[in-house]
Amino acid sequence: MTGNRLGLETATLGGGCFWCLEAVCEQARGVEKVISGYAAGHTDNPTYEDICSGTTGHAEVVQITFDPQVISYRTLLEIFFTLHDPTTPNRQGNDRGTQYRSIILYHDENQKAVAHEVIREINDAGIWDAPVVTQLQPLEHFYPGEGYHQGYYRGHESQPYCQFVVAPKVVKFREKFSSLLKANA
């Protein structure tokens, strides 16, 4: 599986604004690092302004470095699917555009198989009124977002978007996955 130092692995996920996923994932035990960025498009080295134009093909994503001995890839996907609506193409709430699509960018065949299995289970369980439209494709390139996007929620909790969009997702994670919280979260 995707190699890093000390047996760490990497997952790349997009489910709307990357600030939401970053704020939640960095609180999960076993997650070593979360980087907000861009992937799955056709423009090299895109900027946030490029992404917002909707012409790059990129999605806002987070790249998560995690310890699979502490938190599994499957568990990360379960968190991911709890935090956004995977049935709305190119949209999460009021955030609209291809950059906000639901997407899993797998790093190897095992991640691909696990993602297929989780999506099938969600559809079979009828959790949503519509089928999951999350795109599943291999990661080709990941472009880290600008520095001001990294750790955004931690530094801007009082900002209206953070209060009304990000904070409810953090609360939902903390309630549903309380056993996964880092000690300092």
As a whole-number percent, the residues of the chain with pLDDT over 70 amount to 97
Average pLDDT value over all residues in the chain: 93
Q: Is residue 185 part of a domain?
A: no
93 inside domain = yes
Q: Give the structural domain span for 124.
A: 5-180
Question: Would you say 133 and 102 are in contact if contact means Cβ atoms under 8 Å apart?
Answer: yes
Whether residue 57 is contained in a domain is answered as yes
Q: What share of the chain is helix, strand, coil (3-state, %, to 5)?
A: 40, 25, 35
- Look at the chain and report how many structural domains it folds into: 1
Closest CA to 90 of 150, 128, 40: 40
Reference 21, options 148, 151, 175; nearest CA is 151
| Tens of pLDDT, residues 32-91 | 999 999 999 999 999 999 999 989 999 999 999 999 999 999 999 999 999 999 999 898
Q: What's the burial of 120, exposed, middle or buried (CB within 10 Å: 0-12/13-18/19+)? A: exposed
Active site residues: 17
In a domain, 145, yes or no: yes
pLDDT at residue 1, rounded to an integer: 47
